[in-house]
A and B are shown apart, each in its own frame.
Chain A
């Protein structure tokens, strides 16, 4: 059971917008710790997509955006493309665990 809660799957047609939610508690997201998002293609290492809630590393398309409110955060992907099909993970810091915590991951299917 993951500390952060994500939906197991989301889907959308090419060109559409999808969002992935990430729900935490007062010991992690609600405590003000940043939320980070990763994309993982099959058989590869995670790739950082969003850091500190809403910042994109260089090289990440602006189709990807992040937001945070209270004890939850969201990743939005606009203009869905076939190669966006992957697993997406949120991550924050937890004061009780005293370390990083991850969501269970969300599989994005592009229809």
Chain B
């Protein structure tokens, strides 16, 4: 059974940093790209970042480029998102998602984590 278990998140001051984790199980982790998708309160889904199965290719939305870093630890089947220089507009629930197709690029999310809230406020 595929499972994505998220941890991290919480309350952080503007300008601060936070790290999110997503522990994967039930599939061959290295075979699939992964993504982070966020949802601000009362708003729709927004892609944040993607990473290839090997971890060598990473992609970011313009809104987070230069501030967020996605990585993966394939030996421990874990996806990570390091968020720095956080702003109020980064407040959202953050989801990790597994690509439904093999390949370098994230295609669609066939499995999603439970979500973790991030609040940026003083």
Contacts and interface: CB of A to CB of B under 8 A. Distances in A.
Interface of A: 2, 34, 36, 38, 40, 45-48, 51-52, 57, 87, 89, 91, 93, 97-105
Given A89-B45, A97-B61, A105-B44, A46 B108 contact: no
A51 B44 contact: no
A46 B46 contact: no
B119 interface: no
A48 B109 contact: yes
A104 B44 contact: yes
Interface string B96-118: 00001000011111101111000
B59 A46 contact: no
Interface residues of B, number: 23
Contact of A93 (B107, B110, B114): B107
Contacts of B114: 45
B71 interface: no
Nearest to A92: B108
Interface of B: 35, 37, 44-47, 50, 59-62, 95, 100, 105-110, 112-115
Nearest to B48: A99
Given A99-B59, A100-B50, A46 B44 contact: no
Given A51-B100, A99-B59, A46 B47 contact: no
Given A45-B114, A97-B61, A89 B105 contact: no
Contacts of A34: 107-108
B112 A99 contact: no
21 contacts: A2-B44, A34-B108, A36-B100, A36-B108, A45-B113, A45-B114, A45-B115, A47-B112, A48-B110, A51-B100, A57-B100, A57-B110, A87-B44, A97-B61, A98-B59, A99-B50, A99-B59, A100-B35, A102-B47, A104-B44, A105-B44
A104 B108 CA distance: 16
